[in-house]
A and B are shown apart, each in its own frame.
Chain A
Amino acid sequence: MIGFRLVKRKPLPGWAIILIPIAAIIVTLILSAIPILMAGGHLWKSYYYLFYGALGTRFNFLETFVKASPLLMTGLAVAFAFRAKFWNIGAEGQLLAGALTATALGVSLGGVSKPLVLPIIIAAGFLAGGIWASIPALLKTKLKVDDVVSTLLLNYVMIHIMGALLFGPLQQPGSSWPRSMAIVEAACYPILMARSRFHMGIPLALFAVLVVWFINKRTIFGYQSKAVGVNIRAANFGGINTTSVILWTALISGGLAGLAGVGELCAIQYRLIMDISPGYGYSGIVIAMLGNLHPIGVLLSSLFFSVIIVGAQTMSRMTGVPTYIAEVIQGTSLMVMLIFLLFTEYRIRMVRKP
């Protein structure tokens, strides 16, 4: 009988890092053909409309970036935390904390000098997400509470806080729905391209990519958080204050997720509703993993995700394949990527078995 086992392989050359995601996407599209065909779709037509829908017209092309910006922010948030092995599964709650803060300020800052309103909202939204993320970081460093569990559970706490506020002090007067008043005009992100929703949050997210890359690559803090991530015992032995590194990591990570919430509120919805996020925080986990925790990788994977999400609308309209296919493709892409990453460290060898 022939069996298989995994054996460690020698480190791959640099080009593999570029080639692997591309290969993973191609394999994903091949595999996703199965559910598309099962749904009765025409394969070439479906893929054509998938990409045409996302990239083919000016509006849709810009819309792909609109969709990518919250995904990019939450993806960066998760990647930044995971790099230090702070398992932040709570980007969703941190996003809501940011959106909630932006709402509270956005409806009440009408009297403040206009150019100050947005900087205040952005700073406050960042801080709100950061503080919400630093709660599990404190629990982890001081009380050894598992961060996977605490970050995840705090998402539900934040959803309920938001619900309580939307049925209470933040509820629009006279409305019976859980929704807030619209924010004042000065609190809205400027639209940067006419006849589209291409807003300031998009360059802001791209700027965040640069900042995260810079922190990781060039700063003492980036070095320390990497050291804590690969071997916290050795980092501590070497004199790094691991508690403070984890806290700061959580603060920045949560802050980035908070900015995703600010963007959705101030550029898309203009008022807080319960459905402000269709799970961007959770998608951020997948995007961070797909991007191999590297800021550029996260940028590319968030764009890939938004292409699929935006394109699936057109594909569905033109071919009748349900939009759920978008989620199937996303899930498949993560699994393919994880398998590919496994094979960057291991290879399969056939062995004889008795």
Chain B
Amino acid sequence: MVDTRQPVVRMSGITKQFLDVIANDNITFNLYPGEICALLGENGAGKTTLMNILFGYYTCDEGEISIKGENVHLSAPKGAITRGVGMIHQHFALVPSQTVLENIIIGTKSGRGIFLDIKAARQKLLRLQKRFNLQIDPDAAVWTLSVGEQQKVEILKALYRDVDILIMDEPTAVLAPAETADLFTTLRSLVDEGRSVVFITHKLNEVMDISDRIVVLRAGQVVAERVTTDTTPRELANLMVGRDVLETIERKKLDAGQSVLEIENLKALNDKKLTALKDLNLVIRQKEILGLAGISGNGQRELSEILFGIRDALEGSIKIGSKLLKFGSPSSAINLRMGRIPEDRIDTGLMLDLSVEENLILERHRSPGFHRFGLMKAGTIHQFSDELIRAYGITTVGRDAVTKSLSGGNLQKVMLARELGGSPMIVIASQPTRGLDVGAMEYIHQRILQERERGAGILLISEDLDEIFALSDRIIVMYEGEIMGEALSEEASREQIGLWMSGVST
């Protein structure tokens, strides 16, 4: 594709290596004024790395960058910001206890020397809000805002700094459908004034909706560049993954058995001591997958942590089979044969500095076969780990390899091997495929289905609606600590689920 316009950003020959992973391999990327360019690719394709290099957050090993015709060597984001480049990361860089206005003026120069010029700042902010229709109370503390509103604050922060090249890293991951539509309107109005937007995502339908041009990355390389109107989601999917994929999940018809998990009148607080769960009731039966959908921050994390035994509840009861779960006791959950796949496998699930074997035996190192008088039986333990490594196809140098040397997909396999190896009665899987590539994702899905066929009951907590629809027998939606609605997955419509997710009950 030949483009005759002058690019506002020109990146050529960009290479960046982390340890033995080449995140960016000789990438050439141009951005033109007045366009929304989607950077499409799977997790780990190198999208965020490339943009972090443009933003000066990383320095590239090789390659050249020019912004607005000027060759630059960025060693910190400051250099990028002064040249009009702004980046909004997935995790916002806001100070929760400060107000919107305070957050926006952090780090900017005041017209009054060492004194804050709040008045002028407020004027400027209000002008921007009016111009781009981004209405938020400037004096509201950031922690009181919804995620969608916080994102608006981030956009205003960028505009306040006269950013005309805005990078957004997976901006819709945390948004409800209606908020996404709002965001797209805002982005459109930005580029209409001649600004440029880079939109990092792996969601095909969004790319089709919002972008003018699409650059597809795979394994650190640019594999294709398309004008949005000239391509189809199917073509993009194939380019992104490099083979024909449309994961086909076959969920056998099974009759659910007796109940394995019963939650009654569960009430709990979150870390801010605000209500996270209001009187929650749910039942899961054998051979059944219950999909729990919802936008993050609506109580799913608290629910999973209570089930895992790492958070206390205020009231209510949880029964696994016929026995009561003791709140705040991980051993109770383990002893009641719960398979627990936490959302944060790196921080909560695994010990990255220990060996694969040491991770595999974590929940079972005290069981009778594994020790005698407190001494570990190395032989039995080695045999146990080798079997799990083989059964779950964990790619590793061996059981003694340090766990952090494994890829994301293999880390999750270690997690699954440990949690599912004991044939649990109930499985709680929280965001089990987040951050994984398509291959690993398929594997995890198959494993979850196998557990269902074996007879386990499964609670699948996920923000990925495709995953929820593909795996679940029943779907429930959580909003602000309550169940907004429930439907059989065959009968549920995406629109309905989407409405429930944004708190509209019908």
Bound complex: CA A240 to CA B364 (Å): 10
In this complex, what residue of B is CB-closest to A226?
B354
**Most A CB within 10 A of own CB, among B20, B75, B310:** B75
- 5 smallest CB-CB distances across A and B, nearest first, come from A238-B362, A354-B73, A239-B331, A230-B353, A231-B351
Contact A238 to B376, CB < 8 A, known contacts A227-B358, A233-B347: no
Contact B19 A236 (CB under 8 A): no
Contact A219 to B376, CB < 8 A, known contacts A10-B20, A239-B363, A353-B73: yes
Bound complex: CA A11 to CA B75 (Å): 27
Bound complex: CA A9 to CA B18 (Å): 9
Contact A218 to B376, CB < 8 A, known contacts A227-B362, A238-B363: yes
Contact A239 B376 (CB under 8 A): no
Chain A residues lying within 8 Å of B72, measured Cβ to Cβ, are 354
Contact A233 to B348, CB < 8 A, known contacts A8-B19, A219-B375, A226-B354: yes
> Which among B18, B19, B347 is the interface contact of A234 at CB below 8 angstroms?
B347
**Apart from the given pairs A10-B20, A223-B358, A237-B348, 12 other A-B contacts in the complex at a CB distance below 8 Å:** A11-B405, A218-B375, A223-B376, A226-B358, A230-B353, A234-B347, A234-B348, A238-B334, A238-B362, A239-B331, A241-B331, A351-B59
A contact residues vs B (CB 8 Å cutoff): 3, 5, 8-11, 218-221, 223-224, 226-227, 230-231, 233-241, 351-354
Chain A residues lying within 8 Å of B376, measured Cβ to Cβ, are 218-220, 223
Instruction: Say whether B308 faces chain A, with CB atoms less than 8 Å apart.
Output: yes
Q: Can you report 22 residue pairs joining A to B where beta carbons are below 8 Å apart?
A: A3-B75, A8-B18, A220-B371, A220-B374, A223-B365, A223-B376, A227-B354, A230-B351, A230-B354, A231-B350, A231-B352, A231-B353, A234-B347, A234-B362, A235-B351, A236-B330, A237-B310, A237-B340, A239-B362, A239-B363, A351-B59, A354-B73
Instruction: Enumerate B351-383 residues with CB–CB distance to A below 8 Å.
Output: 351-354, 358, 362-363, 365-366, 371, 374-376
In this complex, what residue of B is CB-closest to A231?
B351
> Which among B19, B342, B375 is the interface contact of A237 at CB below 8 angstroms?
B342
Chain A residues lying within 8 Å of B18, measured Cβ to Cβ, are 8
Shortest Cβ distance from residue A23 to the other chain B in the assembled complex, whole angstroms: 23
Shortest Cβ distance from residue B378 to the other chain A in the assembled complex, whole angstroms: 8
Shortest Cβ distance from residue B502 to the other chain A in the assembled complex, whole angstroms: 32
**Most B CB within 10 A of own CB, among A8, A238, A241:** A238
In this complex, what residue of A is CB-closest to B71?
A354
What bracket does the count of chain B residues touching chain A fall in? 20 to 34
Chain B residues lying within 8 Å of A353, measured Cβ to Cβ, are 73, 75
Chain A residues lying within 8 Å of B366, measured Cβ to Cβ, are 220
Contact A219 B374 (CB under 8 A): yes
> Which among B59, B308, B331, B347 is the interface contact of A231 at CB below 8 angstroms?
B347
Contact B330 A239 (CB under 8 A): yes
Instruction: Say whether B148 faces chain A, with CB atoms less than 8 Å apart.
Output: no
Chain B residues lying within 8 Å of A10, measured Cβ to Cβ, are 19-20
Chain B residues lying within 8 Å of A220, measured Cβ to Cβ, are 365-366, 371, 374-376
Contact B374 A221 (CB under 8 A): yes
Bound complex: CA A347 to CA B203 (Å): 37
Contact B73 A234 (CB under 8 A): no
Chain A residues lying within 8 Å of B334, measured Cβ to Cβ, are 238-239
Chain B residues lying within 8 Å of A234, measured Cβ to Cβ, are 347-351, 362
Shortest Cβ distance from residue A92 to the other chain B in the assembled complex, whole angstroms: 29
Chain A residues lying within 8 Å of B371, measured Cβ to Cβ, are 220
Chain A residues lying within 8 Å of B330, measured Cβ to Cβ, are 236-239
Contact A227 to B351, CB < 8 A, known contacts A8-B18, A220-B371, A239-B334: yes
Instruction: Say whether B208 faces chain A, with CB atoms less than 8 Å apart.
Output: no
Shortest Cβ distance from residue B237 to the other chain A in the assembled complex, whole angstroms: 33
Instruction: Say whether B402 faces chain A, with CB atoms less than 8 Å apart.
Output: yes
